[in-house]
Structure 1
Amino acid sequence: MQLSELSERSGVSAASVKYYLREGLLPAGTPVSARKAEYDDDHLRRLRLIRAMLSVGGMSVSQARDVLAVAEDPAFGRHERLGIAQYLLPPQVTPPDPAPDAAAHAAWTALRAEILALLRDELGWQITEFAPALDTLTRALTTLRDLGYRADVAFLQRYGEALRPIAEAEYQVIEEIPQVEEAIEATIAYTVLYEPVVLALRRLAHEDVSARLHPGTPNPGTPD
């Protein structure tokens, strides 16, 4: 197919396709003349992944280029390829960092180590100490504590036990995708697009629990 058809079938504008070609995100097509090239289904698949990384995942062009380099490197296994793509996704919520002094840094380091120990030892999770989500958890608990709210590390165990089956169900779907680029695309989609689903269901569950604790009270938003 020519570039115009590639654009039409992928839903990506011709200008964007040309930009991805210039930036090295999309491999060049097969030349058929001095000014024309042919593209195939591999280019369609790559465009879907690029769109997932940039539009859905919010990655920069340089981050997307890093993911693609790993995806094409046979030295990396499937677990590493999917993991690196997820590591480069921006966090959904980033509370403020603690004050950059020695005491705050020591408290941060101790709390992060405590969270990692709980996930590894109590839940048995196989995660690395470099996972960006560990920093997100540490920031969140630090902010809660600074504001005077309960933020016990042990409380995270309930969340972990509830979310693990969800992660297993998602990755069963991803594992059925043999093509690595498509699996990376699915990993990004499940990570980014399903996080709002989890958060929304949690808020609805809060409403249900509160309503059961206070029977007979009008629900919020109920017309007078």
Structure 2
Amino acid sequence: MHLAELSRRSGVSVPSIKFYLREGLVPPGTPVSARKAEYSEDHVRRLRLVRAMLTIGKMSVAQARDVLAVAEDPAFTRHERLGAAQYMLPPHVEAPPQDSEERVVWDEIRGLILDELRRLGWRFLDTAPALDVLTQSVATLVGLGYDAPVEDFRRYAAAIRPMAEAEYATIALYEQIEEALEATVAYTVLVEPILLALRRLAHEDVSSRLRHGTGDEPAP
């Protein structure tokens, strides 16, 4: 297919495709003349992935390039390739400076979280960015004087694990690595707001029932 058809099929504008080509995010097409090239279904899949990383995942061009480098390297397993994409997705947080009081608390809480998740049998790298995000949230709660009971933590973990299993069962259906990576980005970024919204609606429902009975009409 020519560039215009590639744009139509992928939903990516021609100027954006040319930019991705210049940045090395999309491989060049097969030249058919001095100014024209032919593109394939592989280019359609790659464009969908690049668009997902840059627009949905909010990655920088450099981050997207790093993910693609891992995706194209046969030395990495499928698990490692999908993990590279997820690790690049925001948010990212930094630990407090070494030798600070905040860092002492941070390391203690991070260690407790690690121990609890390991006790539950979860397998992940100690360098996972999500672990730092989790540590920051729990440390902030503790700093504000709120308890962070282990029982609540276990309930959250037990509730979220089946969701992850269902999502990755779907991702496993995508044999092409570009499609699997795109699905990983989409499920990670787009499903998280759904979970947050459902939790808040559940809070409203529970509060209404606790204060106003169990009628079908929502409380004013």
Give the TM-score range, shorter chain.
over 0.9
Distance (Å, rounded) in 1 between the aligned partners of 2:116 and 2:141: 18
1:172 pairs with 2:169: yes
User: What are the superposed Cα offsets for residues 40-90 of structure 1, whole Å, 9 maximum, x if unpaired?
Assistant: 110000000001000011100000000100100000000000011001001
**In structure 2, what is the equivalent of residue 19 of structure 1?**
19
What is the letter of the counterpart of residue 132 of structure 1? P
**In structure 2, what is the equivalent of residue 110 of structure 1?**
108
Q: What 5-or-longer segments of structure 1 have no aligned partner?
A: none
1:201 pairs with 2:213: no
Instruction: Return the offset for 1:102.
Output: 2.1
User: What are the superposed Cα offsets for residues 133-192 of structure 1, whole Å, 9 maximum, x if unpaired?
Assistant: 010011111111222222234531110000001111101101111111100100110110
What is the letter of the counterpart of residue 108 of structure 1? W
Q: What 5-or-longer segments of structure 2 have no aligned partner?
A: none
**In structure 1, what is the equivalent of residue 69 of structure 2?**
69
Q: Structure 1 residues 133 and 153, CA, compared in 2 at 3 Å: closer, same or farther? A: farther
The answer (yes or no) to whether the contact 1:98–1:142 under 8 Å persists in 2 is no
User: What are the superposed Cα offsets for residues 16-60 of structure 1, whole Å, 9 maximum, x if unpaired?
Assistant: 000000000000000011111110110000000001000011100
Q: Structure 1 residues 153 and 108, CA, compared in 2 at 3 Å: closer, same or farther? A: farther
TM, length-normalised to structure 2 = 0.93
The answer (yes or no) to whether the contact 1:10–1:48 under 8 Å persists in 2 is yes
**In structure 2, what is the equivalent of residue 32 of structure 1?**
32
The answer (yes or no) to whether the contact 1:49–1:182 under 8 Å persists in 2 is yes
Q: Structure 1 residues 99 and 62, CA, compared in 2 at 3 Å: closer, same or farther? A: closer
Distance (Å, rounded) in 2 between the aligned partners of 1:153 and 1:68: 38
Distance (Å, rounded) in 1 between the aligned partners of 2:35 and 2:148: 62
Distance (Å, rounded) in 1 between the aligned partners of 2:171 and 2:97: 40
**In structure 1, what is the equivalent of residue 83 of structure 2?**
83
User: What are the superposed Cα offsets for residues 101-138 of structure 1, whole Å, 9 maximum, x if unpaired?
Assistant: 522112111111110110111x1101110110010011
User: What are the superposed Cα offsets for residues 187-215 of structure 1, whole Å, 9 maximum, x if unpaired?
Assistant: 11011000011111111111111122112
The answer (yes or no) to whether the contact 2:95–2:106 under 8 Å persists in 1 is no
The answer (yes or no) to whether the contact 1:108–1:138 under 8 Å persists in 2 is yes
**In structure 2, what is the equivalent of residue 160 of structure 1?**
157
TM, length-normalised to structure 1 = 0.91
Instruction: Return the offset for 1:91.
Output: 1.6
SS of 1:91's equivalent in the other structure is: coil
**In structure 2, what is the equivalent of residue 119 of structure 1?**
117
What percentage of residue pairs aligned between the two structures are identical?
Answer: 62
1:132 pairs with 2:118: no
Distance (Å, rounded) in 1 between the aligned partners of 2:185 and 2:140: 27
Instruction: Return the offset for 1:219.
Output: 4.6
1:191 pairs with 2:188: yes
Distance (Å, rounded) in 1 between the aligned partners of 2:140 and 2:110: 13
